[in-house]
Amino acid sequence: MRIALVLASVPGYSETFFRSKIDFLSGMPGWKVMVLADRKATTPLLPEGIELHYGLGAWSGVTFLKKLIQYVWAAGPIKIVRLLAANRASGLGWRMNVSSLYRSIHLLSVRCDWLHFGFGTMAIGREHVAAVIGARMAVSFRGFDICIYPVKHPGCYRLTWTCTDRVHVISDDLRQAVLANGCPSSDQIIKITPAIDTHVFQPVRMPEGEPHPWRMLTLARLHWKKGLEYTLEALAEVQRAGISFTYTVVGEGEEYERLMFAVHQLGLSDRVIFAGKLPPEAVRELLRSTDLYLQYSIQEGFCNAVLEAQAMGCLCVVSDAEGLAENVLHGMTGWVVPRRQAARLADQIVAVCNSAQAARAEMVQRAAKRISGEFSLDRQRHEFVSFYQ
Partner 1 sequence: MAVYRKEVSRAGSVFDRPIRLAVFSGVIPSTTFIEQMIKVVARDGIEVLLFGTLHEPTRYPNPRVKIFSNRPGLAGMAQGLGRILWLLMARYSHYRKLKQHLGKGPFSDSASFSKWQKVVPVVLHLPDVFHVQWAKAAGDWIFLRDLFGVKMVLSLRGAHINYSPLANSALARQYREVFPKYDAFHAVSKAIAREAERYGAAAEKISVIYSGLPEPANLPERSSRTGVIRLLAVGRIHWKKGYHVLLDALASLMAEGNQFRLTLIARGEMTEELAYQIHQLGLSPLVHHIPGLSHREVLEQMRQHDLLVLPSLEEGIANVALEAMSVGLPVVSTDCGGMGEVIEDGQNGWLVPVRDAAGLKRAIERASTLPAEQLDAVRKEAHKTIQLRFSDRLAMAGFSELYRKVIECA
Under the rule (CB under 8 A), what is the footprint of partner 1? 147-148, 151-152, 224-225, 229, 233, 255-258, 260-262, 264-266, 298-299, 340, 343
Min. distance of Cβ 296 from partner 1 in angstroms? Answer: 14
Smallest distance from partner 1 to CB 167, Å: 22
In angstroms, the Cα distances linking 118 to 7, 37, 158, 302, 385 are 5, 10, 18, 15, 16
The smaller minimum CB distance to partner 1, of residues 135 and 234, is found at 234
Secondary structure (DSSP) of 64-130 = HHHHHHHHHHHHHHHHHHHHHHHHHHTT--HHHHHHHHHHHTTTTT---SEEEESSHHHHTT-TTHH
Q: Considering only CA atoms, which of 344, 334, 337, 308 is closest in space to residue 320?
A: 337
Residue with smaller CB distance to partner 1, 32 or 223: 223
**From CA 85, how far away is CA 89, in angstroms rounded?**
6
Give least dist CB 233 to partner 1, A: 6
Helix, strand, coil percent values for the chain (each to nearest 5): 45, 20, 35
How many Cβ atoms from other residues are within 10 Å of residue 248's Cβ? Answer: 18
C-alpha span between 219 and 230 (Å, rounded) = 15
In a 3-state reduction of DSSP, which class is residue 336? strand
Residue 149 CA to residue 119 CA, distance in Å, equals: 11
If DSSP codes are grouped into helix, strand and coil, which group holds residue 271? coil
Q: How many CA atoms lie within 13 A of 90 on its CB side?
A: 24
The smaller minimum CB distance to partner 1, of residues 8 and 260, is found at 260
Q: Which residue number, 131 or 260, has a Cβ lying nearer to partner 1?
A: 260
Smallest separation, CB 326 to partner 1 (Å): 18
CB of 351 to partner 1, least distance (A): 20
> How far is it, in rounded angstroms, from Cα 237 to Cα 198?
35
Using the minimum distance from each CB to partner 1, give the nearer residue, 2 or 258.
258
Closer to partner 1 by CB, 89 or 151: give it: 151
Q: In the bound complex, what is the minimum distance in angstroms from residue 249's beta carbon to partner 1?
A: 13
* Cα angle, residue 235 at apex, residues 230 and 239 outer, rounded to 5°: 155
Nearest approach, Cβ of residue 152 and partner 1 (Å): 5
CB nearer to partner 1: give 65 or 343.
343
